Chains A and B, each alone.
Chain A
Amino acid sequence: MRVSHLLAVGQTERAREIASDAIASEPNDPMSYFSLARVLLALQDVPGAIAAMEQVVGMVPEWGAGWGVYSTALFRAGRFAAAERAVIEALRLEPDDADYFVHYAQILSFCGRKEKALELTRRALGIDPDDESAHQLFASLLHEVRPSKWKLSEEVARRAISLNPDDPDGFAILGSILLTSRRFEEAEQMFRTALEIDPHNALAIEGLAQLVMRKHLFYRPFLAYALMMRRLGAPMQLLVVLSLWAIVSLIRTTVLRDDPGSTIVLVVYLAFAAYTWFAEPVMRAILRRKYHWL
């Protein structure tokens, strides 16, 4: 209890001394090791925390919280498969703890298993509808995995905003939903709020780009391509550029050969490839031109 209080007020060194003393006086008490592990995690001593938690789960293997903190320590060490096994054990022992579902979803989300992570956050919200981190993770995963499910996102975004009015993602998601229902001014206000909280919020910037596209036809092709490339991500951008390069090479070597058109095709391709790489800064420049407050 005292260790928890010291951790809460930031006196980690003092907390470590007390936890170490507790282990020295009662070496068979799992709570002493548990406290020490939490202190070591706060001090970024992850190997030490793992060692302490191995003692805990060895002494009390039927204690869910022990496996939960053990999993956190393993995850922080980058031992993803072991962290997964530990959190599954925690969930087996305490299947009604939303925190373990969220933690498991975070591990899977990091390792690219987004679908399953989404399902886990859904379960967490079913257990604890007021879990703020579950709302945030659910909203972001839903946005990535099922971008068409705006209705559900709206509900989650409104709930997330009510739980945490300082969360920019909540405002940005809500702005995107309002945009799809053509409530442009409200949407702009939501994006503005999100960007006031976090000036680099990707979701809000995308939303503003969508707004400009709807209002100005001239910018539409540039912004649409920039947004598409942004959503595809760097690996797919590379694939687009390389696939086109392969097509251009094929056309130049088999059809055009020494024709002057060969150079024109190459120049067009290079311009296209350059815009693919620099679409993001161009998009930001257009947005700044349209929204001076940005």
Chain B
Amino acid sequence: MISEGDLLRPSLRRYPDARRAAAPQIDPLLLPYAALMLGSAVAGVLAFYNAIVIRRFGNALLALLLGAAGWICCVLMVAAANDARVENVGFVLLGVRVVHFVIGGILFFLQRPHVHGNVFLRGDVAPTRASYFAALAIAWFLPIRIVLVLLGVPPGR
């Protein structure tokens, strides 16, 4: 039960106004998925695109910074594991992917209300399922060296 005072207290102060996108946006659900498969830098670039098409420049910059921060964090993780002579590469990669996924999750929550607003104003969003399969196909066919670099594993490690 919500009290009378709370009922008429504004609760959307931080909810962003809707803006219609100039080009189709990418479903924010794809961001954690792209971060997991291809790294947070790729997810950051996708989120940057999403923010640019609705002219949210602060959000765009934040997306790029988050993506870059995730990637740098993973480079440091891999370097630390290498220095510590950790032999189970799969285990290190799993940790790296978790970090990327978390960054992708943050990007999802940052972008969700904006894309929701775009849909409300009848803006376009790229088909979700097709986008998933496209990301899966890219991750599948991309040379492993490139995928590793995107995930934050420096060449030669």
Contact = CB atoms under 8 A, between A and B. Distances in A.
Interface in B1-53: 1-2, 6-8, 10-20, 29, 32-33, 36
B94 A246 contact: yes
A249 B120 CA distance: 38
Interface residues on B, range: 35 or more
A254 interface: yes
Nearest to B20: A78
Interface in A77-127: 77-82, 84-85, 88, 91-92, 107-108, 110-111, 113, 115-116, 119-120, 123
Contact of A88 (B8, B91, B117): B8
B12 A80 contact: yes
A78 B10 CA distance: 16
A116 B7 contact: yes
A236 B91 CA distance: 25
Nearest to B118: A78
Nearest to B14: A81
Interface residues on A, range: 20 to 34
B91 A253 contact: yes
Given A234-B128, A253-B91, A111 B12 contact: yes
B10 A85 contact: yes
A119 B94 contact: no
A110 B33 contact: no
Given A110-B120, A238-B29, A253-B90, A92 B17 contact: no
Contacts of B117: 78, 80
B96 to A, nearest CB: 12
Interface in A50-91: 77-82, 84-85, 88, 91
B123 to A, nearest CB: 10
Which residue, A80, A250, A253, has most C-beta atoms of chain B within 10 A? A80
B11 A116 contact: yes
Contacts of A225: none
Contact of A119 (B7, B13, B15): B7
A110 B7 CA distance: 17
B2 A119 contact: yes
Chain A interface main SS type: helix
A275 interface: no
B88 to A, nearest CB: 7
B36 A92 contact: no
Which residue, A78, A119, A253, has most C-beta atoms of chain B within 10 A? A78
A107 B12 contact: yes
Contacts of A80: 12, 15-18, 117
A147 interface: no
A82 B128 CA distance: 31
Interface in B69-113: 88, 90-91, 93-94, 97-98, 101, 108, 113
Interface of A: 77-82, 84-85, 88, 91-92, 107-108, 110-111, 113, 115-116, 119-120, 123, 234-235, 238, 242, 246, 249-250, 252-254, 277
26 contacts: A77-B17, A81-B10, A81-B12, A81-B13, A81-B17, A82-B17, A88-B8, A107-B12, A108-B11, A111-B15, A113-B12, A116-B2, A116-B7, A119-B2, A234-B29, A235-B29, A235-B108, A238-B32, A238-B33, A249-B90, A249-B94, A250-B94, A253-B94, A254-B88, A254-B90, A277-B129
